[in-house]
Structure 1
């Protein structure tokens, strides 16, 4: 059964596996730094309450057996340490079975976090990491030649990722069809980066060329991934170049990085003068049998995403099973033409009135102070900042975590404050907190020279009226204790 392996893809597998281990490392670090504040026992959407509503069958997770913030942190730190060890090469120096076990543990740990992460883990790149991580379990290690069937499953994943994103655009916002979406996108994307202002001010002709090139890359090039070499390598190279372009123009967590890493598994490195393993050995029969079984499983599960691709009601970033295997993908089927931002402020005065002093909270990644240049965040993922972008597009009642966020700020909650760039009340918590909705736009070149500002903003309306902490149960509210909504 030598046809099941191809030593020539040994360098591509090595690059892909190390790259995926690096993404795992980032993902687990995100959980270490953010999960407790967002979904912990006193988080904005607490996991214990979620687990009481959701069965193990619907959301498989280690945390159905037990959840505590300490246990979550132990799981996240274990994933961090294990992914760092795999990145350093541990999976390549142990026997094949042990290597598979390492990758399987990473997958189980991260799947357990994703399946209880609720809205904070509802992004397409979470399912993408779970699916890629599952396939990597069966990809073998340095001691064996890469299994051809798993390599083809990685191509099928990359195809769905790119082609699905292309179709959702073609079926979605009209601006994708008339090539004008990039007139707005660099300014209104969830989290612009340091170069987004410059990309926004490129000539409109170039923006139209960018959109047309995107259609070619996502609607035509993906079919080349299944072509004979060297055409598949050319298709993969185009995907990688496109992802690098997206990386330098915006902050999309690890979406673009993992897409480029997937494309490296398609490249025929022999054509680039890189040979395969010195002495690759065929995988044992039990491993080959597992590879065939996994291929059959993916073939069956592919029915739903394949049907979704040809459906007029294509779903974007949907998982059809609780293990997040063989998902549908897509991004920016519609483009926001105007940028709205929720700005949270606090006041030391329990009754500040219309002319009271309000101080603004500053987030690490999302726009706030118009003078602050958009930062580079990706491939790290600031989950609260991303959800604040969605909050600006919806009503207060569509984002039930906003009020708990305000309450934590009223308490100067250390876990929440660690997610922010600046707390304007470092010593004493504010008496009241409010949120206001602003319209943001990039300044023009002239405005930038004159004012030094990257953004211009205008107040639209109140988003969350001023609130103070509620009085404890059984206590009597008094004018000296801020406890009522204002």
Structure 2
């Protein structure tokens, strides 16, 4: 069928696949290096406990057959190897069906990881990676031109990512409609980057222009993805520029990079380079792609209905395989930044003069003198959840107690998630947590003090806690109700 393939998108497919392989590598590496402390057998939210509470129907995956930390490590590191192989172009040297298998394996492995990831894997970009990775299985390799139907499905994903984010903003916080959200966002976002301080101090008229441009990019430009070239390619290019701006201004794991990868698949490269000679698609491949397309169309009903709903929800999966999902970000913006600061002491008896030493996190703000670092696309899961904990103790209820218990034990795997352990020898006798209000310093304050942040004590989050079975109950109405 002549309509089935699109020769002009061969380079777009190639760039998309390379970018996706890098993101897979990042995701599997994140899992391999962090899982023991988060979801391991002795983790804060152990995967075996989650497996006992769920079943095959709601959470299918390899770990239904067997779970151990060693097996999880094999899965995660195997994912890394597969991602490297795909990045090196291994799918070019096997038949079409072999390439599909090579792309299906990391998808199946990462799906298994997400199914046991609990709270730590509750972010929208996990579902986005799975949905995109599933479609990549059917995108083919160098032996055939890209199938038109899969290219359209990738644009459908990109449309929902951008349009969903735009709608949730317009329907949500009034500051998006007033064009004032960026007065606060760069300061209060989950994990600022090294340039976020400078973005925050841009003139307010420029912030308003940024928000207006964001609305255009997310609410108007996505519609152009479904128009003929070169308009669709220009729309994809505008999305790429917007995402690069977000990359510079914060740390959002691989969300921005995966959105860029999706946009690359929508760019027709024919004017730049002639497509190589490619064989026609075999009949079995055409049948498989048509069946998958029909499946995605059927599963798209609920996400599409959600987009049109006034009670739109964001970052929700409607099927256990995460095949078609709904997305969105920052429907509301915090005006004030709160941070939970965790401290310990080696003094067995607490008194007014007790010396407390602060634990340092890799990404989240802590030491006011420390400029935030760039970590994305790598995902610091504990740091992100600490941001949610500062919003409400309810977010921390399942895992904060186990986290404190492990600090009181100097647990090696937990301490590896941190930048600085103030008790490298013996574990602390007590741990506490306090909430501080953080704000960016002004240019004058930065020159005078060398501090990027100014912080003020607000309240107690966790009273001084010694080792024991009741360790780590965060305080606050949301946590104690």
Counterpart of 1:349 (choices 332, 338, 347) is 347
Task: Tell me the equivalent position of 1:308.
Answer: 306
Task: Tell me the equivalent position of 1:220.
Answer: 220
Counterpart of 1:453 (choices 440, 451, 454) is 451
What secondary structure, in the 3-state scheme, does the structure 1 residue paired with 2:317 have? coil
Task: Tell me the equivalent position of 2:138.
Answer: 138
> How far did residue 483 of structure 1 move?
12
Aligned equivalents of 1:10, 1:451: Cα separation in 2: 54
CA contact (8 A) 1:469 1:484 kept: no
Task: Tell me the equivalent position of 2:7.
Answer: 7
CA contact (8 A) 2:402 2:472 kept: no
Aligned equivalents of 1:386, 1:178: Cα separation in 2: 28
Residue 357 to residue 108, structure 1, CA distance change in 2 (3 Å): same
> How far did residue 396 of structure 1 move?
5.4
Per-residue CA deviation, residues 128-165 of structure 1 (Å, 9 max, x unaligned), is: 00000000000000111100000000000000000000
> How far did residue 471 of structure 1 move?
7.2
Aligned equivalents of 2:116, 2:285: Cα separation in 1: 32
What secondary structure, in the 3-state scheme, does the structure 2 residue paired with 1:438 have? strand
Task: Tell me the equivalent position of 1:467.
Answer: 465
Task: Tell me the equivalent position of 2:175.
Answer: 175
1:35-54 equivalences in 2 (<5 Å): 35-54=35-54
1:244-255 equivalences in 2 (<5 Å): 244-255=244-255
CA contact (8 A) 1:318 1:328 kept: yes
Aligned equivalents of 1:154, 1:177: Cα separation in 2: 29
> How far did residue 99 of structure 1 move?
0.5
What secondary structure, in the 3-state scheme, does the structure 2 residue paired with 1:100 have? helix
> How far did residue 291 of structure 1 move?
0.4
Instruction: Give the unaligned 5+ runs of structure 1.
Output: 473-481
CA contact (8 A) 2:316 2:325 kept: yes
Aligned equivalents of 1:131, 1:320: Cα separation in 2: 12
CA contact (8 A) 1:347 1:359 kept: yes
Correspondence 1:443 to 2:441:
yes
> How far did residue 352 of structure 1 move?
2.2
Aligned equivalents of 1:85, 1:403: Cα separation in 2: 40
Per-residue CA deviation, residues 328-363 of structure 1 (Å, 9 max, x unaligned), is: 000000001100000000000122222201000000
1:397-416 equivalences in 2 (<5 Å): 398-416=396-414
Task: Tell me the equivalent position of 2:93.
Answer: 93
Aligned equivalents of 1:323, 1:471: Cα separation in 2: 37
Task: Tell me the equivalent position of 1:418.
Answer: 416
Task: Tell me the equivalent position of 1:165.
Answer: 165
Aligned equivalents of 2:352, 2:90: Cα separation in 1: 61
Aligned equivalents of 1:116, 1:313: Cα separation in 2: 29
What secondary structure, in the 3-state scheme, does the structure 2 residue paired with 1:36 have? helix
Backbone CA RMSD of aligned residues: 1.6
Aligned equivalents of 1:46, 1:483: Cα separation in 2: 17
Residue 280 to residue 32, structure 1, CA distance change in 2 (3 Å): same
TM-score normalised by the chain length of structure 1? 0.96
Per-residue CA deviation, residues 78-110 of structure 1 (Å, 9 max, x unaligned), is: 000011101100011111111100111111000
Aligned equivalents of 1:263, 1:147: Cα separation in 2: 16
CA contact (8 A) 2:461 2:474 kept: no
Residue 304 to residue 458, structure 1, CA distance change in 2 (3 Å): same
Task: Tell me the equivalent position of 2:283.
Answer: 285
Aligned equivalents of 1:139, 1:346: Cα separation in 2: 52
CA contact (8 A) 1:466 1:485 kept: no
Aligned equivalents of 2:374, 2:84: Cα separation in 1: 23
CA contact (8 A) 1:59 1:115 kept: yes
CA contact (8 A) 1:302 1:326 kept: yes
Task: Tell me the equivalent position of 1:478.
Answer: none
CA contact (8 A) 1:396 1:402 kept: no
Residue 483 to residue 383, structure 1, CA distance change in 2 (3 Å): closer
Residue 483 to residue 239, structure 1, CA distance change in 2 (3 Å): closer
> How far did residue 485 of structure 1 move?
12
Residue 471 to residue 159, structure 1, CA distance change in 2 (3 Å): closer
Aligned equivalents of 1:69, 1:168: Cα separation in 2: 39
CA contact (8 A) 2:405 2:472 kept: no
Task: Tell me the equivalent position of 2:239.
Answer: 239
Residue 162 to residue 396, structure 1, CA distance change in 2 (3 Å): closer
Task: Tell me the equivalent position of 2:258.
Answer: 258
Instruction: Give the unaligned 5+ runs of structure 2.
Output: 476-481
